[in-house]
Chains A and B, each alone.
Chain A
Amino acid sequence: MPVLKSTIDPSSETYLQNRRDQLAAVAALDEQLEAVRAGGGPKYAQRHHNRGRLLARERVELLIDQDSPFLELSALAAWGSEFAVGASILTGIGIVEGVECVIIAHDPTLRGGAMNPISLKKNLRALEIARCNRLPVINLVESGGADLPTQSELFVPAGRLFHDLTALSAMGIATIALVFGNSTAGGAYVPGMCDYAVLVDRHAKVFLGGPPLVKMATGEDADDEALGGAEMHSRVSGLSDYFALDELDCIRIGRQIISDLHWRKLGPPPSPKVDPPLYDPEELLGIASGDFRIPMDPKDVIARVVDGSRFDEYKALYGTSLITGWAWIHGYPVGILANARGVLFGDEAKKATEFILLANQSDTSLIFLQNTTGYMVGTTYEQDGIIKDGAKMINAVANSTVPHITINIGASFGAGNYGMSGRAFDPRFMFAWTNAKLAVMGAQQLAGVLSIVARQGAEAAGRDFDLEADATRTLAIKEQIERESHAFYITSRLYDDGVIDPRDTRTVLGIALSAAHSNQVQGRQGFGVFRM
Chain B
Amino acid sequence: MAPIRKLLIANRGEIASRIIATARRMDIATVAIYSDSDADAPYVKEADEAVALAGNAPSQTYLRDDLIIAAALRTGCDAIHPGYGFLSENAPFASACAKAGLIFVGPAPNVIASMGSKILAKELMAAAGVPVLSGITIADDEELKSDIGDEAGRTVGYPLLVKAAFGGGGRGMRAVNNPDELIHAIASARREAESAFGNGTVFLEHYVESPRHIEVQIFADTHGNAVHLFERECSIQRRYQKIIEEAPSMAVTDDLRAELGAAAVKAAQAIGYVGAGTVEFVMGTDGKFFFLEVNTRLQVEHPVTEAITGLDLVALQLSVAEGIALPPAVLNASIRGWAIEARLYAEDVTAGFLPSSGTLVKFEIPTFAGLRVDSGVAEGSKVDIHYDPMLAKVIAYGSTRDEARRLLARALSKAKIHGVISNRDLLVAILREDDFAGGAIDTGYLVRHNPIELIASTHSPEIIAIHCLAASLADQATRRRDAKVQISLPSGWRNVQNGPQRQRWAIGNQELEVSYRFGRNGLQAQVDDSSFGEIVLFCASATQVDLAIAGVRHRIEIHRVGQTCYVDSALGTCALVEVPRFPEPDSRDAPGSLLAPMPGVVLRVLAAIGQEVPAGAPIVVLEAMKMEHTVRAPAAGTIQALHIKSGQAVDVGFVLAVMEGGQ
Q: Are B485 and A514 in contact (CB under 8 A)?
A: yes
A197 at the interface (CB under 8 A from B): no
- Known A-B contacts A33-B497, A37-B498, A249-B582; A66 and B503 likewise in contact (beta carbons under 8 Å): yes
Task: Give Cα A429–Cα B582 distance, bound, in whole angstroms.
Answer: 33
Residues from chain A with Cβ under 8 Å of B489 in the complex = 69, 330, 507, 510-511, 514
Across-interface contacts of B494 in A (CB, < 8 A): 69-70, 72
Given A68-B492, A69-B492: A60 in contact with B498 (beta carbons within 8 A):
yes
Most interface-central of A68, A72, A330 (chain B CB within 10 A): A68
Contacts of B490 in A (CB 8 A): 69, 507
Give chain A residues whose Cβ lies under 8 Å from the Cβ of B497: 33, 37
Chain B residues with CB below 8 A from A100, complex form: 485-486
Chain-B contact segment, one of A114-122, A159-167, A453-461, A497-505: A497-505
Q: Do the beta carbons of B479 and A66 come within 8 Å of each other? A: yes
Tell whether, in the assembled complex, residue B476 and residue A508 are in contact, meaning their CB atoms are under 8 Å apart: no
Task: Please state if A67 and B491 are interface contacts (CB–CB under 8 Å).
Answer: yes
Q: Which residues of B contact A327 (CB under 8 A)?
A: none
- Whether the pair B486, A514 counts as a contact (CB closer than 8 A) is yes
Q: Does B585 contact A (CB under 8 A)?
A: yes
Known: A33-B497, A251-B582, A501-B495. A69 touches B486 (CB 8 A): yes
Residue A199 lies at the interface, judged by CB distance under 8 Å to chain B: no
Given known A-B contacts A274-B488, A330-B488, A62 and B495 have beta carbons under 8 A apart: no
**B479 to A36, Cβ gap below 8 A?**
no
Q: A66-B479, A248-B583, A507-B490 are in contact. Are A75 and B496 (CB under 8 A)?
A: yes
Chain B hits for A508, CB < 8 A: 495
A129 CB within 8 Å of chain B: no
Give bound CA distance, A109 to B501, whole Å: 23
Q: B485 — which chain A residues lie within 8 A by C-beta?
A: 95, 98-100, 265, 514
Docked pose: A33 CA to B608 CA in angstroms: 63
- A36 and B496 contact, CB distance less than 8 A: yes
Q: Which residues of B contact A75 (CB under 8 A)?
A: 495-496
A252, A500, A503, most chain B CB atoms within 10 A: A252
CB of A13 within 8 Å of the partner chain: no
With known contacts A67-B476, A251-B582, A57–B499 Cβ distance under 8 A: yes
1/0 per residue, CB under 8 A from B, across A494-530: the answer is 0000101101100110110010000000000000000
Smallest CB separation, A215 vs chain B (Å): 36
Indicate which residue in B475, B476, B483, B501 contacts A95 across the interface (CB closer than 8 Å): B483
| A248 in complex: contacting residue of B475, B495, B496, B582, CB < 8 Å | B582
B475 contact set on A, CB distance < 8 A: 66
B484 close to A98 (CB less than 8 A): yes
Q: Interface extent on A, as a size class?
A: 35 or more
Size range of the interface on B?
Answer: 20 to 34
> At the interface, yes or no: B581 with Cβ under 8 Å from chain A?
yes
CB distance from B364 to the nearest CB of A (A): 30
B contact residues around A265 at 8 Å (CB): 485
Given the complex, which residues of B lie within 8 Å of A260, measured CB to CB? none
Closest A residue to B583 using CB positions: A248
Instruction: Tell me how far the C-beta of A78 lies from the nearest C-beta in chain B, rounded to whole angstroms.
Output: 15
A93 (CB) vs chain B CBs: closest residue = B486
Does B480 interact with chain A (Cβ within 8 Å)? yes
Please give the distance in Å from B313's CB to the nearest CB on chain A: 55
- Cβ of B498 and Cβ of A61 under 8 Å apart? yes
- Contacting pair A71 B495 (CB below 8 A): yes
B520 in the interface (beta carbon within 8 A): yes
A498 and B492 CA atoms in complex are apart in Å by 19
Q: A226: CB under 8 A from chain B?
A: no
Q: How far is the CA of A50 from the CA of B353 in the complex (A)?
A: 41
Q: Residues 497-508 of chain B: 1 if any A CB is under 8 Å from the residue's CB, otherwise 0? A: 111011100000
User: B582 is contacted by which of A98, A252, A331 (Cβ under 8 Å)?
Assistant: A252
Out of B499, B520, B585, name the residue touching A61 (CB < 8 Å). Answer: B499
> Can you name the residue of chain A whose Cβ is closest to the Cβ of B493?
A69
Max chain B Cβ within 10 angstroms of own Cβ: one of A99, A255, A500, A507: A507
Chain B contact surface mostly = loop
Q: Are A65 and B483 in contact (CB under 8 A)?
A: yes
Q: A75-B496, A507-B489 are in contact. Are A66 and B476 (CB under 8 A)?
A: yes
Q: Is the CB of A67 within 8 A of B488?
A: no
Check A57 against B498 for contact (C-beta < 8 Å).
yes
Taken residue by residue from 35 to 51, chain A's Cβ proximity to chain B (1 for < 8 Å, 0 otherwise) reads as 01100000000000000
Out of A72, A249, A251, name the residue touching B495 (CB < 8 Å). Answer: A72
Q: Do A503 and B581 form a contact, CB below 8 Å, given A68-B486, A265-B485, A270-B488?
A: no
Cα–Cα, bound, A95→B482 (Å): 13
In the docked arrangement, what's the CA distance between A507 and B490, Å?
Answer: 7
Q: Which residue of B lies closest to A282 (CB)?
A: B520
Which of A58, A504, A507 is in CB contact (< 8 Å) with B499? Answer: A58
| B residues in contact with A500, CB < 8 Å | 495
**Distance (whole angstroms) from the CB of A264 to the closest CB of chain B:** 10
B596 to chain A, nearest CB (A): 26
* Cα of A33 to Cα of B496 in the assembled complex, Å: 6
CB distance from A41 to the nearest CB of B (A): 16
Q: Point out the residues of chain B lying under 8 angstroms from A501, CB to CB.
A: 495
Inside 8 A of B585's CB, which chain A residues have their CB?
245, 249
The closest CB in chain A to the CB of B480 belongs to A67
A65 and B496 contact, Cβ closer than 8 Å, known pairs A252-B582, A514-B485: no
CA distance A503 to B497 in the complex (A): 15
Residues of B within 8 A of A36 (CB): 496
Return the contact of A498 from the options B479, B480, B486, B495 (Cβ within 8 A): B495
Task: Give the distance in Å from the alpha carbon of A68 to the alpha carbon of B482 in the complex.
Answer: 11
* Residues of A311-363 contacting chain B, CB below 8 A: 330-331
Residues of B within 8 A of A330 (CB): 486, 488-489
With A and B bound together, what is the CA distance between A134 and B480 in angstroms?
A: 24
Cα A36 to Cα B495 in complex, Å, equals 12
A62 partner, pick from B476, B483, B581, beta carbons under 8 A: B581
Residues from chain A with Cβ under 8 Å of B480 in the complex: 67
Which residue of B483, B496, B503 is within 8 Å of A72 (Cβ)? B496
Q: Is A331 within 8 A of B488, CB to CB?
A: yes
Q: Which of A69, A99, A248, A270 has the most CB of B within 10 A?
A: A69
Q: Determine whether the beta carbon of B496 is less than 8 Å from that of A510.
A: no
Which residues of B437-488 have CB atoms within 8 Å of chain A's CB atoms? 475-476, 479-480, 483-488
Give a binary string over B394-432; 1 marks a CB under 8 Å from any A CB, 0 the rest: 000000000000000000000000000000000000000
The CA-CA distance from A27 to B585 in the complex, in Å, is: 45
Q: Which residues of A260-275 are within 8 A (CB) of B?
A: 265, 270, 274
Rounded to whole Å, the gap between the CB of B446 and the closest CB of chain A is 42
- Measured CB to CB, the nearest residue on chain B to A37 is B496
Residues from chain B with a CB closer than 8 A to the CB of A66 are 475-476, 479, 492, 501, 503, 581
The distance in angstroms between the C-alpha atoms of A498 and B498, with both chains bound, is 16
Please, what's the 1-or-0 string for A55-85, where 1 marks a CB less than 8 Å from any CB in chain B?
0011011100111111110010000000000
Q: A161–B61 Cα gap in the complex (Å)?
A: 72
Residue ID in chain A nearest B477 by CB atoms? A67
Please name the residue on chain A nearest to B478 by beta carbon: A67
Docked complex Cα distance between A331 and B483 (Å): 15
- Which B574-588 residues sit within 8 Å CB-CB of chain A? 581-583, 585
Beyond contacts A67-B480, A510-B486, A510-B489: 19 other A-B pairs, Cβ-Cβ < 8 A, are A37-B496, A37-B497, A60-B498, A61-B499, A65-B479, A68-B486, A69-B491, A69-B492, A70-B493, A71-B495, A95-B483, A98-B484, A98-B485, A99-B484, A248-B581, A249-B582, A249-B583, A251-B582, A503-B520
Identify 28 residue pairs between A and B in the complex whose beta-carbon atoms are under 8 Å apart, listed by A's number: A37-B496, A37-B498, A58-B499, A62-B581, A66-B479, A66-B492, A66-B581, A68-B486, A69-B489, A70-B493, A70-B494, A70-B498, A71-B495, A72-B495, A95-B486, A98-B483, A98-B485, A100-B485, A255-B582, A330-B488, A331-B488, A503-B520, A504-B493, A507-B490, A510-B488, A511-B486, A514-B486, A514-B489
Residues of B within 8 A of A (CB): 475-476, 479-480, 483-499, 501-503, 520, 581-583, 585
Which A residues are closer than 8 A to B by beta carbons? 33, 36-37, 57-58, 60-62, 65-72, 75, 95, 98-100, 245, 248-249, 251-252, 255, 265, 270, 274, 282, 330-331, 498, 500-501, 503-504, 507-508, 510-511, 514
